[in-house]
Amino acid sequence: MRAGSLIRVLLVALLLAAAATAVAIFIPWLPDNASKEGGRIDFVFWFVTAICIAIFSVVASLSVYSLIKFRAKPDDDSDGPPVHGHTGIEITWTVVPLILVIAMIVVSSVALAQNDRNPSGSMRVEILGQQFAWVVAYPPEGATEDMDGFVCFNRGPGNAIEFARRCKASPNLLLPLDRPARLHLTAREVIHSFWVPEFRQKQDAVPGLDTEITVTPTKIGNFPFICTELCGLGHALMRTRAIVMPESQFEAWRRRGSR
């Protein structure tokens, strides 16, 4: 490649990178972040976005330049130069993507490991998905788990899930600010999925399994809490709220009318 065409390709690449960056920045992609875990996920998101913008601008500038520059003139029946390959270039475009991929794997793994931890002093919350509503239950301090790993949900006659009366229940997910909550999920009949876009955290609730996820709310507010796994006719309506409040207010709510 000659210097002149190299400069032109670079110019096109910069232009496309600027356009892609504008798309990334000016379109409101991610909703507000309201959890500590969400912050780490956002970091991975922007890290991958930066790499993808770089790849996109390289690929797009080369193709745009090539398609404009090397179009055949009408009645040009000649062939192009018989270039069969170039070992150096081929090694480059194998190794460079490999390095980028490894970087993304490392960053993702670190963020995942941090998000997967169950921090000491976390609050236990149990969530049951059922057609078509969520039951959020708060076990009393020091309560022990039963066979299925849950405090608030037991198996009754015919293996039907029953609610343990000693727990406080709510149709919404109420959480105190800045205190890590360990959510334990299960489901009654079919698979459901927990998702609060502002927390970035998602986890399927599977009948018979205890799946866990950590959320540390960092913002007071009222966020959508939706089911994202097709669970039947009412799937689209299986929406409720996740409400984050100051610790004192949460404790007051928890004591109020507790059974």
Partner 1 sequence: MSTVVDEHAEPEVHAPPSPPKPRWRRLLLGPGWIRAVWMTALFWWIGFGIVVGIRALAGWDPVVFWDAIIVVAGLTAAPIGFLAGLGAFDYWLAWAFGQPTKPEDHSGHGARRWTDYFRINTDHKVIGIQYVTTTIFFFLAGGLLAMLVRAELARPEADFVDPQTYNELFSVHASLMIFLFVIPAFAGLANYVLPLMIGAPDMAFPKLNALSYWLLPIAGIMMLTSFFFPGFGAGWTNYAPLSVEQPFGNVFFSMAVQWAGASSIMTALNFLVTIITMRAPGMTFWRMPLLVWANFTTSLLVVIATPFIAGSQFFVMFDKLMHTNFFDMTEGGYPLGYQHIFWFYSHPAVYIMILPGFGIASEVISTMSRKPIFGYRLMALSLVAILILGFSVWAHHMFVAGMATWLRIPMMITTLLIAVPTGIKVFSWLATTWEGRINFSTPMLWGLGFVSQFVIGGLSGIFLGAVPIDIHASDTYFIVAHIHYVLLGGSLFTIFAGIYYWFPKMTGRMYNERLGKFHFWVTFLAFNATFFPMHIIGIQGMPRRVYTYDPQFGDWNLFISISSFVLGVSFLVFVYNMIVSWARGPRAPANPWRGMTLEWQVSSPPPLFNFDEVPQVVGNPYEYGVPGARHAVFNGTREEVRAEEEVRA
Our CB check for partner 1 shows the closer of 202 and 254 to be 202
> Which residue in 75, 79, 121, 255 binds partner 1 (CB under 8 A)?
79
Question: Using the rule CB under 8 A, is 228 a contact of partner 1?
Answer: yes
Task: Provide the mask over 95-124, with x wherever binding to partner 1 is found by CB under 8 A and - wherever it is not.
Answer: --xx--x--xx-xxx-xx--xx--------
Which residues in 114-133 are b (16+ Cβ under 10 Å) and which e?
ebeeeeeebbbbbbbbbbbe
Question: Using the rule CB under 8 A, is 50 a contact of partner 1?
Answer: no
- Binding to partner 1 (CB under 8 A) within 164-183 occurs at none
Residues 90 and 101: their CA atoms lie apart, in Å, by 17
Question: Using the rule CB under 8 A, is 77 a contact of partner 1?
Answer: yes
> Which residue in 125, 137, 227, 243 binds partner 1 (CB under 8 A)?
227
Residues in the chain: 259
Question: Using the rule CB under 8 A, is 29 a contact of partner 1?
Answer: yes
Number of Cβ within a 10 Å radius of residue 244: 25
List residues bridging with 225 in a β-sheet.
Answer: 240
Question: Using the rule CB under 8 A, is 4 a contact of partner 1?
Answer: no
Our CB check for partner 1 shows the closer of 40 and 168 to be 40
CA angle 129, 135, 140 (to 5 degrees): 125
Alpha-carbon torsion angle 143, 144, 147, 148, nearest 10: 50
Question: Using the rule CB under 8 A, is 246 a contact of partner 1?
Answer: no
